[in-house]
């Protein structure tokens, strides 16, 4: 942990890895293997071609400016207990996303267990990175290109979750605690991970179809051309393959892997 971190933060988190300037913090009860896996997924998203350099420096610079931080807890219960002890000033000055070790499953697809690191880490990248670097395109407010695509996917512009979505909608997130901006982040996550093949398995589709219908690359490409164009536009340098968690991470930072 950094010497500049408040004592209350150092009491909660006892380890950190820094990936291209972005910190991954972990509690004492978080297994080291889960911490390193999460760091490797973050590195794999940011340096998807594995050449040792970030693919989109503008996005990573935005993340660093906003102090984007992945905070890892062993369990959701631990997070609920410990987050209350973190200073408000520290929380307000960091764009933090939480990931629980209990939902982090390296190689989980083989056991029909989805690895939540794919979701939470991508949320950190889009929220603190893309939305800040390209607000007119990936901003979280109505009118951005991402928001316009989402309005089409939901069958209309709903500032609040509707009682019922139109039958033509293919994105029907119904968590009422998730406001419009939050909905944009869930939407781009579904699109990106479907394009990369993370949602393609039939067992996974059964879990998510009440919320997202276009779970395979083929369905997504045909069914949501607006978001597909954004995610494949070379200007934005989104990942082209799903991180495999094998990006070699040193004790302090990401470094170039031995082979692609």
Residue 74 near residue 27, CB atoms below 8 Å: yes
pLDDT at 169 exceeding the cut of 60:
yes
Runs of H (alpha helix) within the chain: 7-12, 32-46, 57-65, 76-83, 88-93, 117-125, 131-133, 135-138, 145-154, 180-195, 202-208, 217-223, 225-232
Q: Count Cα atoms within 13 angstroms, Cβ side, for 124.
A: 32
254 falls in which pLDDT band (50, 70, 90)?
A: very low
DSSP per-residue string spanning 109-152: GGGT---THHHHHHHHHIIIIIHHH-HHHH-SSTTSHHHHHHHH
For 56-108, write each residue's pLDDT tens digit: 999 999 999 999 999 999 999 999 999 999 999 999 999 999 999 999 999 99
Q: Count Cα atoms within 13 angstroms, Cβ side, for 99.
A: 30
The reported pLDDT for the residue numbered 257 is: 36
For 178-204, write each residue's pLDDT tens digit: 999 999 999 999 999 999 999 999 999
pLDDT at 237 exceeding the cut of 50:
yes
Tokens representing residue 82 in the block: 């410990």
The reported pLDDT for the residue numbered 253 is: 52
Residue 214 near residue 199, CB atoms below 8 Å: no
| Measured distance CA(131)–CA(41) in Å, rounded | 20
Q: Is the dihedral of CA 197, 203, 208, 209 positive or negative?
A: positive
Strand 13-19 and strand 22-27: the pairing is antiparallel
The reported pLDDT for the residue numbered 109 is: 87
- Burial of 124: CB neighbours in 10 Å, binned 0-12, 13-18, 19+: buried
The reported pLDDT for the residue numbered 148 is: 99
The reported pLDDT for the residue numbered 110 is: 84
Q: Which of 117, 145, 143, 137 is nearest to 56 (CA)?
A: 137
The reported pLDDT for the residue numbered 251 is: 60
Residue 114 near residue 108, CB atoms below 8 Å: yes
């Amino acid at each position: 942990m950094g010497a500049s971190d408040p004592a209350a933060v150092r009491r909660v988190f006892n380890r950190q890895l820094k990936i291209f300037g972005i910190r991954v913090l972990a509690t004492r009860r978080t297994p080291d293997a889960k911490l390193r896996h999460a760091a490797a997924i973050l590195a794999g998203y940011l340096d998807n071609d594995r050449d040792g350099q970030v693919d989109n420096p503008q996005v990573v610079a935005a993340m660093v400016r906003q102090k984007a931080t992945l905070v890892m807890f062993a369990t959701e219960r631990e997070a609920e207990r410990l987050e209350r002890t973190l200073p408000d000033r520290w929380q307000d000055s960091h764009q933090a996303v939480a990931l629980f070790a209990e939902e982090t499953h390296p190689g989980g697809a083989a056991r029909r267990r989805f690895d939540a690191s794919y979701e939470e880490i991508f949320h950190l990248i889009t929220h603190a990175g893309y939305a800040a670097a390209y607000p007119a395109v990936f901003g979280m407010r109505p009118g951005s290109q991402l928001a316009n695509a989402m309005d089409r996917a939901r069958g209309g512009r709903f500032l609040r979750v509707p009682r019922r979505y139109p039958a033509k909608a293919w994105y029907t997130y119904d968590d009422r605690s998730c406001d419009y901006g939050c909905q944009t982040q869930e939407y781009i996550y579904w699109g990106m991970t479907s394009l990369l093949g993370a949602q393609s398995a039939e067992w996974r589709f059964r879990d998510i179809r009440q919320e997202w219908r276009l779970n395979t690359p083929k369905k997504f490409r045909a069914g949501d051309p607006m978001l597909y164009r954004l995610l494949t536009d070379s200007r934005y340098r989104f990942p082209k393959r799903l991180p495999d968690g094998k990006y070699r991470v040193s004790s302090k930072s990401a470094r170039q892997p031995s082979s692609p």
